[in-house]
């Protein structure tokens, strides 16, 4: 169970969301009121029973913090799978699948942290995004101006990473 302040914050947020949902969804007419028709038939009864208010809809757990945790894990997992697929696709054009896997495994912890940090900076602020994208554009233009040297240097770095990725620790 969540601590007192945390649980109160969750309860307040759920109450606020319930109020917003009730305000956004007009109330259904009372079937007992004059001038309204009652649903007839099994399908109409099932349909009427399935209708609910938005505040009654929950995720897999009645606890909002747990639902947020589940969503966070699902999104991060999906992003990791997508990232691996894109990395393999980019390396797969020029390298065999085994070598591409070895290259990806051969990345150092510093490289992974730097890439994650740059992505975080680019995603959290517009100036950060401008700086990161500008830096990547400058690096790309620099590499293109020195294409032969950059290709040889990149090939050496990837070979070193592949060697590091095939070592058994």
Of residues 109 and 55, more confidence is placed in: 109
Tell me what percent of the residues of the chain surpass a pLDDT of 70: 73
Of residues 18 and 104, more confidence is placed in: 104
CA dihedral for 13, 17, 18, 23, sign (positive or negative)? positive
Please tell me the predicted confidence (pLDDT) of residue 96.
86
Of residues 119 and 148, more confidence is placed in: 119
pLDDT (average), residues 61-84: 86
pLDDT (average), residues 42-67: 68
Please tell me the predicted confidence (pLDDT) of residue 169.
41
> Model-level pTM?
0.46
- pLDDT band at residue 157 using 50, 70 and 90 as cut-offs: confident
């Amino acid at each position: 169970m969540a601590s007192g302040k945390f649980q109160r914050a969750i309860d307040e947020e759920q109450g606020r969301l319930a109020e917003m949902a009730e305000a956004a969804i007009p109330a259904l007419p009372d079937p007992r009121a004059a001038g309204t028709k009652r649903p007839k038939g099994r399908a109409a009864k099932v349909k009427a029973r399935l209708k609910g208010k938005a505040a009654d809809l929950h995720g897999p757990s009645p606890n909002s913090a747990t639902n947020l945790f589940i969503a966070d894990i699902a999104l991060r997992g999906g992003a990791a799978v997508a990232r691996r697929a894109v990395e393999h696709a980019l390396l797969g054009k020029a390298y065999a699948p085994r070598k591409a896997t070895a290259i990806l495994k051969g990345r150092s912890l510093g490289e992974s942290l730097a890439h994650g940090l740059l992505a975080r900076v680019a995603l959290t602020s517009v100036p950060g995004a401008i700086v990161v994208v500008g830096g990547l554009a400058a690096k790309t233009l620099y590499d293109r101006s020195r294409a032969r040297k950059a290709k040889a240097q990149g090939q050496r770095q990837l070979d070193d990473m592949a060697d590091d990725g095939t070592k058994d620790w």
